[in-house]
Amino acid sequence: MTRLAALLLTLVLAAPAVAEPSYRATGDLGLIVERASGSLLVIDQSERAAIGRIEGLGDLSHASLVYSPDEHFAFVFGRDGALTKVDILSREIAGRVIQAGNSIGGAISDDGRLVAVANYEPGGVRVFDADTLEMVADIPTGSKTIGLVDIPGRRFVFSLWDAGETWIADLSSEEPRITRIAGIGKNPYDALVTGDGRTYIAGLFGEDGLTALDLWDDQPAPRRILPEYGRGQEDLPVYKMPHLEGWALAGDQFVLPAVGQHEVLWVDAGTLDEAGRTRTHGQPVFAMARPGGRHVWVNFAPPFNDTLQVIDTRTHAVIHQMTPGPAVLHMEFTARGTEVWVSVRDANRVDIYDTATFEKLGEIAAQSPSGIFFTARAHRMGL
C-alpha cells in the first residue's frame, strides 16, 4: 500500500517532466573506467561525447562491469573488493558493498537476477541479489579465482589459478550445486565463453596452450588446445597478462593471444586444431574480432603498448597499423562494429576510429581511461 502511495507520489512529481520530455534511452550509452580516480565516465555513442561522470568507486585498476538486462544499471567490480551498482541515467551510485579484500571480475546471470564476483582474497566466488546486493551464495575455492562467466540456466563458470580447476556453479535452486573439473592446466589466468554459451576456453600462464570445455556435456572433459605453441621459443617476460573475452570467435575460427610471444594464434572452431599464427608488433593483450568477424584488432603489452594492429581474418595478414598514443589499454566496438573506441591511458583520452577506413572520427577526454563498456553488452552471454 505504501508502495502504491509512493508510486502515485512519484507520478505526481514526475508529471511536469511530461510537458518537456527529459527522458533518455540507454541503448547507445556506455561507461569508461577511469582507473586512477575511481570514477566512471558516462558516454553517448551517437554524440561521440561524454555526458557525465560517476565518482567514488574506489580502486578501479583492472575494473570491469556488467549491465542489467534493461541497460539501466551497471555492476562494477573494483579491485578493492567493492561491488558497486550504478544508475547510468541518474548517474548515481545505487548500492555498494565491500564484498571481499581483493577481486578481479564478475558476471550477471542470464536472467539478470544474480551478480557473481570472482575474488583473489579470500579466493572464491560470491553471488549477490542484483536488486538488493544482498549475498545469496558464498563459494570458497581456496584459490585465486579468475575467468568468471555466465552461462544459461542461472549458472556461472570460473577457474582456479592455484588449483588448475574449472568449476560450474548452478544457482537455479536454493542451494548452489557445484561441478568441479580438474586437470585444466597450470595457472589458468583468464577465460572466455563463446556467445552461444557452449565453449569455455581458459588460457594458461604456467604452461603453453589453452584448455577448452564443451559446456553442453553433463560432465565436460578438458581438451588441450595448442599445447606446443611456444615450443622452441624462449618465453619473453610478460609485463601484462593477456585477456580472454567473448570476442575471440571470428567466423569459423578463434583468435587468441599467445602468452610470452609476439603472436596471435588461430584455432579452427570446429576441430580446435591450430589454423595458423600471425606475428605481431608485441605481446598481444586483447585480440578482438570486430562484430561480424571480418577483422581482428590487437593491442599490446608494455613496452609496445602505444600501437594497434588490424588483422584480416581470411588471410591472417596484418593489414593496418596505427599508433594512437601511450598505453593503449582497451578497445570496444559499437554493437554492429562500425566504430571502435580506444582508451589511450597516458594521453588521458579515448579515441574513436572508423573500422572500415581506420580514420579517426573523434576523441573524448578521460582520466587514465581503461575499460570501455557499451550497454549492448547487456544482451550478450559471457560479457
Partner 1 sequence: MLRLLLVLTLAAGPAAADGLTADHARRLEHLVVQDCGSCHGLTRKGGLGSPLTAEALAHFEPEGIAMVILDGVPGTAMPPWRPLLSDEEALWIAEYLLKDDDK
Residues that bind partner 1 (CB under 8 A): 35-36, 59-62, 79-80, 101-102, 104, 120-121, 144, 161, 187, 189, 205, 237-241, 302-303, 327, 345-346, 368
Q: Minimal distance in Å, beta carbon 245 to partner 1?
A: 16
Question: Which is nearer to partner 1, 120 or 128 (by Cβ)?
Answer: 120
Phi/psi-derived region of residue 19, left when phi > 0, alpha when psi is between -120 and 50, beta in every other case: alpha
Q: What angle do CA 382, 250, 246 make, to 5 degrees?
A: 10
Question: Which is nearer to partner 1, 204 or 256 (by Cβ)?
Answer: 204
CA-to-CA dists, residue 87 to 69, 96, 293, 374, angstroms = 13, 12, 32, 14
Q: Minimal distance in Å, beta carbon 240 to partner 1?
A: 6
Question: Which is nearer to partner 1, 32 or 272 (by Cβ)?
Answer: 32
What b/e string do you get for 214-249 counting C-beta neighbours within 10 Å, with b at 16 or more?
ebeeeebebebbbeebbeeeeeeeeeebbbbbbbbb
Q: Minimal distance in Å, beta carbon 113 to partner 1?
A: 29
Give 217's contacts (C-beta < 8 A, 6+ positions apart).
none
Q: Minimal distance in Å, beta carbon 102 to partner 1?
A: 6
Q: Minimal distance in Å, beta carbon 60 to partner 1?
A: 8
Q: Minimal distance in Å, beta carbon 206 to partner 1?
A: 8
Question: Which is nearer to partner 1, 103 or 375 (by Cβ)?
Answer: 103
Question: Which is nearer to partner 1, 91 or 240 (by Cβ)?
Answer: 240
Query: 329, 340, 184, 320: which is closest to 242 by C-alpha?
Result: 329
Q: Minimal distance in Å, beta carbon 235 to partner 1?
A: 10
- Phi, psi of 249, rounded to the nearest 5 degrees: -85, 120
What b/e string do you get for 48-69 counting C-beta neighbours within 10 Å, with b at 16 or more?
eeeeeebeebeebebbbbbbbe
Other residues' Cβ atoms within 10 Å of the Cβ of residue 15: 9
Other residues' Cβ atoms within 10 Å of the Cβ of residue 151: 23
Q: How far apart are CA 371 and CA 383, in angstroms?
A: 13
The β-bridge relationship of strands 114-121 and 102-108 is antiparallel
* 165, HSE (Cβ side, Cα atoms, 13 Å): 14
Question: Which is nearer to partner 1, 60 or 311 (by Cβ)?
Answer: 60
**Secondary structure class of 11 (helix, strand, coil):** helix
Question: Which is nearer to partner 1, 121 or 196 (by Cβ)?
Answer: 121
Q: Minimal distance in Å, beta carbon 324 to partner 1?
A: 16
Question: Which is nearer to partner 1, 151 or 192 (by Cβ)?
Answer: 192
